[in-house]
Structure 1
Amino acid sequence: KDGNVTGGWDLQELRSIQDYYVKYGLSSASGVSEVASIGGYVQEYQVDVDPEKMRQYNIGLTDIVKAVKESNQDIGAQTLEINQAEYLVRGLGYVKSVADIEDAVVASENFTSIRIKDIANVHLGPQTRRGILDKEGAEVVGGVVVARYGANPLEVINNVKEQIAELSSGLPTKTLADGRTSQVTIVPFYDRTQLIQETLHTLNEALTLEILITILVIIVMVFNLRASILISGLLPVAVLMVFITMKLFNVDANIVALSGIAIAIGTMVDVGVILAENMIRHLEDEKLRFRESGIEYTTNEIIYNATAEVSGAILTAVLTTIISFLPVFTMIGAEGKLFRPLAFTKTMALSASLVIALFLIPPFAAFLFRKTNVRQQSKLLLNGLLIALGITTLVFGYWLGLILIAFGCSGLFFSLKAKKEYNHTIAGYRLNINQNVVNIIISCIAIVVLLAEYWRPLGFDRSILMNLIFVAIICFGLLGVFTVFRRYYDSILRWALQNRFLFLIIPTTVLILGVVIMRNTGKEFMPALNEGSFLLMPTSLPHAGVEENKRVLQQLDMAVASIPEIETVVGKAGRTESALDPAPLSMYENVIQYKSEYMRNENGERQRYRVNDDGLFVLKNDKFIINPNNEIDDDANYEASQLKTSATRNELIEDNDGEYYRNWRPEISSPDDIWNEIVKVTKFPGVTSAPKLQPIETRLVMLQTGMRAPMGIKVKGPDLKTIENFGLQLEDILKQAEGVKEQAVFADRIVGKPYLLIDIKRDQLARYGISIMDVQEVLQVAVGGMPLTQTVEGRERYGVRVRYPRELRANPEDLKSIYVPVSTGSPVPLGELVDIRYEQGPQVIKSEDTFLIGYVLFDKLDGFAEVDVVENAQALIQQRIDNGDLVVPQGISYRFTGTYENQLRAEKTLSVVVPLCLLVIFLILYFQFRSVSTSLMVFTAIAVAFAGGFIMIWLYGQDWFFNFSFFGENLRDLFNMKTINLSVAVWVGFIALFGIATDDGVVMATYLDQSFKSNEPDSKKGIRLATLEAAGKRIRPCLMTTVTTVLALLPVLTSTGKGSDIMIPMAIPIFGGMIIDITSYFLVPVLYSWKKEYQLKRANK
């Protein structure tokens, strides 16, 4: 059941079980398109004729063929009616055994029959096979399940698993000679379930942490628990609404779709922050609480006025963000399938947040902020209930119970005390402590502890205390920086207004840097998704036979399986029984599953396991694990028999108070390190190197380009030899191109398969009166064997083949001795009728667009972008052609192909659609402000944020940036800093940044408009004072947007789970852009003030 090969079963037995039981059963699973068998031997009845006896009896091969065909036939003879009952009449003549074939009559003379057994040896044997399956050095039989087009992979996998469970009870068993029972089992060797679950778990974890950090920022910066509850409540409700719409519109929850929610959180919070902050301002500001007549507004009226004041800005900001994602809906091909769900979920998330902000938050706010006597009287009861509920909840989740108890105790303390506020002076600062402050402190401590427990930025091998301190420093440190910024904002803005030309140098420099970096950043289609498995695809020499390929395949599998981080490896040589897999025997596919860094449970979540006092993991059989990652003297005080060096999930004991079990050795820190280990152990003579590939990635590449590498050149020409020669010349040149991995360059050896060609002498045929067809049929039957008929044995079908014995067709000289029957006279040896010669020919013939074609495969070095590498290679080849070093033969053409073409196509689409969307957004801004200049100011701020995103991408690729240790961790490694290329994922991040940056600009410009309409300053000083007043009042919601976005992205930037490879490139532009977006808090007011001063100057003239 663990997939270990135990013996006791012949490969043909296993293949029969696969073909006629497992295959049929799995094919019936919903969503399955095909089940293709691979490995083992397909059983057949083989009739090996004896040419000497055939000559003695004067019987030709055609007679034997006819006899075998006619010996295997059932017929239906309709019905007979006997005693008014109808009987079906059948003639039973199907072959059931070897004896049935042996008794078939070939000829009869003088009442004496010549049967098959008189002139041939009949036995069961294997068909010629073109596919081999091997598991870690042992031959096995398997099947490949292909899902239907458009089917949900996880649903199909679950359906297949259900079918496997149903089939398992009917699988045969066998008692071996030593008394052991051997049970045939179905063991998946490639299953995407874990990848899907781990990917979704990574994103769910990131989403949860983002929401927690967002709540923390809101609580600290708003410093009002009621308002914080309002804003924080928006997020889960909006996310729930997104999931409902996904269900209604049949959008699957995958890594990219859920990333849409992750990158929308900043804008979703922004909507709630702007509204809640304005409500608090209206509730606290004496001028806004009273009418001109001096009568105070009711709470409902105050909330209404606050909502109406910013609803236009909120609607405009959300609309511009939604429109900014329209280009993603226009993407086609692979990028369209990948990112359209993201655009959908982000659009739904923003729409949901808008509906909640404008229609749900105001009534809830009116309820929360209304002062009533009922609430005062019920405080004691409510706080008592909180404590009781907390004690009850301790059983299910201790952290939630403690939080509720803390809130209840705080409420009881201030309810029972006559004094509702306590004043303390610490280091010269006066602190006012009341229930709101205490509740905020409790909330902050709880959130930071939860972040430390579930985020674990320093790693799961570091203590919870170290992670807690690190999280507290990161969160409160950044919040402190932004608090200081807010305190000195007015002073900096005043300086910027007075020295605007000097200030404008800063955003101008940022813009120039951004443009320069953008033009020099590498391009690729998509960052590779870590699938948790590799696909090793080397090739052997074209002339290698079945046994040689089997030997090499087994050596490869055993070498890879010897690496401790490898969970299992299954290799395939040749093809499966499917039209989808036209692979030659010399092409290997080794599916390598490596262990996840930390042991996970069945749901793909990291699991803690029991450890003893010495820190060793305890096994169920009372043994202990020597884990190289333990920082203790493992074998002290233990006997050798008590210790093991590795363990499976089933051997460890789950314990939520235990430790996480790390599967990798200390020197292995990433999947790239595992791949490098694989490369080291798979260097065999006669076997090519292979590019770094993963199963899903490879299938996509092969479907798009037909090649088994992410990049390559397709060479078209008039004949295969010319194509091969030109490909070899390109191979030599490509090895010298910048950014190309030399060992991964490989041109197809098309003409490398040895052929045995038989030239028929037509003059000799005429002499004996033999036709070409007669000779060809003898060759086909005698050498290759001709499948004549099929036996019907229940549901099983086995072929019957006639051929010469192996010893009589082992070499060309044997072939010459094959007799060809002549209509009159004795049979003629084949050697008198043909000439036999050797020649090299094609192993496989490929064509595209009616042209013969060959491939030159290559891969890029780490740190280089796909598009740049292709452009370098193109330039080098063209240079060699121009120099005369490379001559393109007549009729030959070549072109580069690969996944980079998707990037070029996506760029082409975006270059048309993005400007159109910008125009639409500009029109929306114009309708909001009724001013071209104000709309352009908002656009200028967006451009600065864009430049900030490119600067952050550049910094990520610089080795010196953040290259220092903090708490023993290198920050570059902690934040996954490496070269980031411009890909579709990065552009999606920029589009998301566009929406968030637009929000801030719209809010700032809207309030500036409102301020100038109400104040109507008539002097330069008045204009600047009005600008300071308006910007000062809007800085808190704008700053909260930036802080929330930047801090909330930290868990994404530090995540290392499956799916983080796609999330991080999307997050980096937003992270960098929002940091630089701080300059827009000065840029928009400075430009607005400049415009008003210019208008005033013209009016005075």
Structure 2
Amino acid sequence: KLHIDELAAKGISVSTVYQSLNYANVTLPLGSADYTNRTISVRYAGGFSSVEDIKNLPVGFADGTTIIHLQDVADITLSYPEEEYSVTDGTNPIILVSITKRSDGDTVKIVKQVKKVLEQCQQQTGGAVRFNILSDDSRQVSASLSTVIKSGILGIIFAVLVILLFMADWRATVTIGISIPLCILFTFIGLKLFNITLNLMSLSGLVISLGMVVDGSTVMLEQIYRYYSMRNPETGLMHYTVNQSIYRGWDEVALSIFASAATTIVVFIPIALLTGLIGKILHAVAITIIMAIFASFLVALIIVPYLLKLLLSEDGPKVREKERRFDIFMKKFKAFYTRILDKALDNKGFVLLIAVAILLFSAFTATRLGIAFIPSTDSGDFYISIDFPIGTTLEQTKKKVHYAEKLLYEYVPEIQSVVFYEGRSNNRGILTLSTPEAAYAHVVLVPVAERKRDIHDIMLQMQKIWASSIPDATVNIENGGFDRLVGFVSGGGGYGLTLISEDLDLLYKTASNLKNFLLTDPEVVNAKLDTDFDTTTMVLDMAHEYLSSLGLTSYEAGITSAILFQGIDAGRYKDEQNNERYNIHICSDITDRPITQDDIANIHIVTEQGRLISFAALSDVRVEKSISQINHSDRAKTITVSASLVSENTANVSRRVNEYLQEHPLPQGVNSKSGGIVALVSDMIGPMLTALLIALFLVYTVMVLQFERFKQPLLIMVTIPFCFIGVVAGLLMFGSTMNLLAMLGLISLGGVVVNNGIILVDYINQIRESRRTDIAMAKGSKDRDGEWHITLSFAEEEKLLRSCVIDGSSSRIKPILITTLTTLLGDIPMALANGEGAEIYAPMGQAIVGGLLTSTLITLVLIPLLYYMS
């Protein structure tokens, strides 16, 4: 480290020292020579072999005779490079080792293996090396998977209990109890074929499908039991044998089960084919549900009839001496439903008006829903970026960061571990080069079950405390887990708006005004620009003509400047004692204190004539404001205004910014584009709406193929919009936003809610055809092909239609209730889940539960009504 004052006093330039180090530290091959009748190689060994050699290097003369050694004008030590940043655990310096899995790696398995290796290392070193696990992603993964699995188990239990309640037969319960694990097993086989691992998203898809996989089996079971339970009221004998019951039941519902499964599957095909970030997130969910529904179709058509063949007795079901209370309740409910349906057919216009009014009201209520990309999760960790004014030294940064640490430990007792990077910044999840005025931290909290506060409350509290306690610091806190991943992909979480213009001054003024407006928003925690216009820079503007007249070049001036302000390497040397090689780094003490004009005057360059010329004479030294960086997009300059929000809901902030821009339009020549989560939300809506439209078209196509008509599928699809009522109600009830997973739930309802309609319409068609045939056989005549025909009057046709609609609908009320309840109860645990990771998939369950509930209630009245009217 050169002493600038000593160099000036002794008349030695910085470049002279640099050249002396380079010229003296030389080892060269000199060829070969004959020596004692042998040819040997000759080498010039002029390099340094110890620190003492460097200290004793001559760099000049005093009074023309006395040698000035390097140690006379510099401190020469063997040490580590000067600290550019430090890593601590809040109190002690640490060496941080990060282990990252490959894309196909199993997080939980890898972490278990790593822990075993660490234990072995600690034992081998006799405790000299101590390992402290600061962050463990497997904890959150395991907790999230545990939450999903618990929801799935509860869903299975509820589904089995529903069957037991409605069927009151252990054989029916056992059949469904066996069919569910078989569906899960077949689903796992399908996932293996698609190389999909068991993760949060695939398990979420499995839990969602648990309620639906029993639908087909339940319909098949109920229809077979319906014939199996028929007895002659006079003789008490069974109408049908077990085989006959299975055959008749299978024949009547097989096609509707296929159609129901197909409509659900085709809904998720467009989702599975989505690309980009949305596709990556939803692909596993969609494929899992497709596999599960396909497996349930096979189980319903093959396994359930086979199991019933094994379990059912030819003696028929046990005749109860006393009717169950639940059966009495179901009879009363069926009679009540029949009366409601009869009145609805008499008041068609009024019923339709009420239905449309409810739908419009739900559409109006939907405006109260927040909009987000992915629900924010309590991942148990968060990240802190702290920026101090440019020019802050590393030591100053450390002092302020230590104060920030003290506040953190004081107000957050839930801390498990902390890692602080002092002197390094973080840009979109990537640690940048050393920056003295920046710091970065990763805070890990104890598990959710061990703390009372939500991570978002802790983050908001610390944001306010640091803002008031460290006024010269810009603090930004980001949630970890999935939120951080989304923020990394989107270029930053929260709200973002990129302004584009060729005029940098106009761009900065516009961006600053928008930033100031965002800071007044109640939902904005902080706002910033990605470009700093207050950077202070010292400019050394060299007089090139004067340099040339002295026989000097800008290279010599540049080398001198680099050594003074930054330091550079001047070769390497090999220590003879320990055989180690070391870099020779040359720097100055000018950065150890505030720089003054006198320091610049004390810097000299030696001319060819040996004259010492001051830097002050060779350059114009000035301090000016500059820009930290200039970003470009399509060759135009850009500034991004970003804001951290109190929640994942960006709708309100976006609306207020749009209102602000309407009142204060962007100047001519300035354009804008969305960024951050706002951009992801905008990009999400288009593909999801496209997927919804394709799904609805495919659902309609499947039903047209089943019914061989165009009108009846339209009648069934009319009920799809009414599921939106329950979706809005469900999300509002739980305080959730309309996000990617909620939209997936909405799209999935497009295939689920039509299932009840398919069951109703298909059975009404069968009854209608059967009764027309009976009437024709009694009163009609045969044609040449031997088929019975009869022509009914308008009154007779209407009477037949009305009776078929009422009887068919009331006959299907039981299987519809069973399938609806199994799906609802299968998804309710997911909708109510509150463990780690539950925030991500809970809105999907809430949307499905709410939508299915309202659509079923309306379907039971609206579809028979529309069928009757058509």
Structure 1 length normalisation: TM-score? 0.69
Contact 2:87 2:422 (8 Å CA) reproduced: yes
Secondary structure of the structure 2 residue equivalent to 1:592: strand
**1:189 maps to what in 2?**
134
How far off is 1:130 after superposition?
A: 4.4
The one-letter amino acid paired with 1:591 is H
The one-letter amino acid paired with 1:1027 is V
**1:254 maps to what in 2?**
199
Q: What are structure 2's unaligned runs of at least 5 residues?
A: 33-39, 776-791
Cα distance change on mapping 1:48 and 1:155 into 2, 3 Å? farther
Contact 1:713 1:855 (8 Å CA) reproduced: yes
Tell me how far apart the structure 1 counterparts of residues 41 and 335 of structure 2 sit (CA, whole Å). 99
Secondary structure of the structure 2 residue equivalent to 1:493: helix
How far off is 1:271 after superposition?
A: 0.9
Secondary structure of the structure 2 residue equivalent to 1:801: strand
Match of 1:281 among 226, 241, 247: 226
**2:766 maps to what in 1?**
1010
Q: Does the alignment pair 1:916 with 2:672? A: no
**1:965 maps to what in 2?**
none
**1:1055 maps to what in 2?**
833
**1:782 maps to what in 2?**
564
**1:557 maps to what in 2?**
405
Tell me how far apart the structure 2 counterparts of residues 481 and 547 of structure 1 sit (CA, whole Å). 78
**2:587 maps to what in 1?**
803
The one-letter amino acid paired with 1:879 is E
**1:517 maps to what in 2?**
365
The one-letter amino acid paired with 1:1060 is A
Tell me how far apart the structure 1 counterparts of residues 113 and 564 of structure 2 sit (CA, whole Å). 46
Tell me how far apart the structure 1 counterparts of residues 504 and 96 of structure 2 sit (CA, whole Å). 35
Which residues of 2 match residues 203-602 of structure 1 at below 5 A?
A: 203-286=148-231, 298-371=241-314, 430=322, 485-486=333-334, 488-518=336-366, 521-562=369-410, 563-575=412-424, 580-582=430-432, 584-598=435-449
The one-letter amino acid paired with 1:942 is I
**1:981 maps to what in 2?**
737
**1:814 maps to what in 2?**
599
Listed one character per residue, the Cα deviations across residues 740-776 of structure 1 (whole Å, up to 9, x for unaligned) are 5344223356122322222223354244332222212
Q: Does the alignment pair 1:724 with 2:508? A: yes
Contact 1:557 1:569 (8 Å CA) reproduced: no
The one-letter amino acid paired with 2:496 is G
The one-letter amino acid paired with 2:617 is E
The one-letter amino acid paired with 1:732 is N
Tell me how far apart the structure 1 counterparts of residues 323 and 551 of structure 2 sit (CA, whole Å). 117
The one-letter amino acid paired with 2:51 is V
Q: What are structure 1's unaligned runs of at least 5 residues?
A: 1-46, 79-86, 174-182, 377-419, 424-429, 438-475, 599-662, 882-886, 957-976, 1092-1101
Secondary structure of the structure 2 residue equivalent to 1:575: strand
Listed one character per residue, the Cα deviations across residues 305-343 of structure 1 (whole Å, up to 9, x for unaligned) are 322221100111101101011221232222111111100
Tell me how far apart the structure 1 counterparts of residues 170 and 45 of structure 2 sit (CA, whole Å). 87
Match of 1:715 among 496, 499, 505: 499
Contact 2:12 2:604 (8 Å CA) reproduced: no
Listed one character per residue, the Cα deviations across residues 984-1036 of structure 1 (whole Å, up to 9, x for unaligned) are 11111112222221111111111111111111275233332222222222111
Listed one character per residue, the Cα deviations across residues 640-690 of structure 1 (whole Å, up to 9, x for unaligned) are xxxxxxxxxxxxxxxxxxxxxxx33xxx45333333432343232334565
How far off is 1:1042 after superposition?
A: 1.6
**1:997 maps to what in 2?**
753
Listed one character per residue, the Cα deviations across residues 329-388 of structure 1 (whole Å, up to 9, x for unaligned) are 232222111111100000011111111111222111100114599xx9xxxxxxxxxxxx
Cα distance change on mapping 1:946 and 1:119 into 2, 3 Å? closer
Cα distance change on mapping 1:308 and 1:798 into 2, 3 Å? farther
How far off is 1:107 after superposition?
A: 8.8
Tell me how far apart the structure 2 counterparts of residues 96 and 167 of structure 1 sit (CA, whole Å). 36
Tell me how far apart the structure 2 counterparts of residues 669 and 112 of structure 1 sit (CA, whole Å). 73
Tell me how far apart the structure 2 counterparts of residues 49 and 95 of structure 1 sit (CA, whole Å). 22
Listed one character per residue, the Cα deviations across residues 546-583 of structure 1 (whole Å, up to 9, x for unaligned) are 11221222222221122222222323344389994336
**More moved, 907-916 vs 318-327:** 907-916
Secondary structure of the structure 2 residue equivalent to 1:331: coil
Contact 2:270 2:694 (8 Å CA) reproduced: no
Contact 2:525 2:646 (8 Å CA) reproduced: no
Tell me how far apart the structure 2 counterparts of residues 485 and 928 of structure 1 sit (CA, whole Å). 31
Q: Does the alignment pair 1:770 with 2:723? A: no
Secondary structure of the structure 2 residue equivalent to 1:1078: helix
Match of 1:896 among 674, 691, 716: 674
**1:827 maps to what in 2?**
612
Contact 2:529 2:640 (8 Å CA) reproduced: yes
How far off is 1:528 after superposition?
A: 1.4
Secondary structure of the structure 2 residue equivalent to 1:315: helix
Contact 2:498 2:640 (8 Å CA) reproduced: yes
**2:81 maps to what in 1?**
127
Contact 2:208 2:826 (8 Å CA) reproduced: no
Listed one character per residue, the Cα deviations across residues 156-194 of structure 1 (whole Å, up to 9, x for unaligned) are 655655554555456697xxxxxxxxx443333232111
Tell me how far apart the structure 2 counterparts of residues 163 and 59 of structure 1 sit (CA, whole Å). 55
Tell me how far apart the structure 2 counterparts of residues 220 and 295 of structure 1 sit (CA, whole Å). 23
Contact 1:761 1:834 (8 Å CA) reproduced: yes
How far off is 1:224 after superposition?
A: 1.3
Match of 1:675 among 459, 476, 484: 459
Listed one character per residue, the Cα deviations across residues 603-636 of structure 1 (whole Å, up to 9, x for unaligned) are xxxxxxxxxxxxxxxxxxxxxxxxxxxxxxxxxx
The one-letter amino acid paired with 1:771 is T
Tell me how far apart the structure 1 counterparts of residues 827 and 579 of structure 2 sit (CA, whole Å). 59
Contact 1:257 1:342 (8 Å CA) reproduced: yes
The one-letter amino acid paired with 1:536 is I
Listed one character per residue, the Cα deviations across residues 765-792 of structure 1 (whole Å, up to 9, x for unaligned) are 2443322222121121233211233567
Which residues of 2 match residues 919-934 of structure 1 at below 5 A?
A: 919-934=697-712
Secondary structure of the structure 1 residue equivalent to 2:387: coil
Contact 1:689 1:743 (8 Å CA) reproduced: no
Match of 1:937 among 715, 736, 743: 715
Secondary structure of the structure 1 residue equivalent to 2:442: strand
Contact 2:377 2:483 (8 Å CA) reproduced: no
Cα distance change on mapping 1:1075 and 1:893 into 2, 3 Å? closer
Tell me how far apart the structure 2 counterparts of residues 124 and 836 of structure 1 sit (CA, whole Å). 34
**2:864 maps to what in 1?**
1085
Contact 1:493 1:1082 (8 Å CA) reproduced: yes
Listed one character per residue, the Cα deviations across residues 856-898 of structure 1 (whole Å, up to 9, x for unaligned) are 2223455x841442233023123112xxxxx73x754433311
Secondary structure of the structure 2 residue equivalent to 1:527: coil
Listed one character per residue, the Cα deviations across residues 242-281 of structure 1 (whole Å, up to 9, x for unaligned) are 2232233221222222111111122211111101111111
Q: How many residues align?
A: 830
The CA RMSD over aligned residues, in Å, is: 4.0
Match of 1:1039 among 800, 817, 840: 817
Secondary structure of the structure 2 residue equivalent to 1:693: strand
The one-letter amino acid paired with 1:225 is W
The one-letter amino acid paired with 2:344 is A
Tell me how far apart the structure 2 counterparts of residues 481 and 733 of structure 1 sit (CA, whole Å). 61
Contact 2:531 2:630 (8 Å CA) reproduced: no
Cα distance change on mapping 1:678 and 1:497 into 2, 3 Å? same
**1:142 maps to what in 2?**
96
The one-letter amino acid paired with 1:685 is I
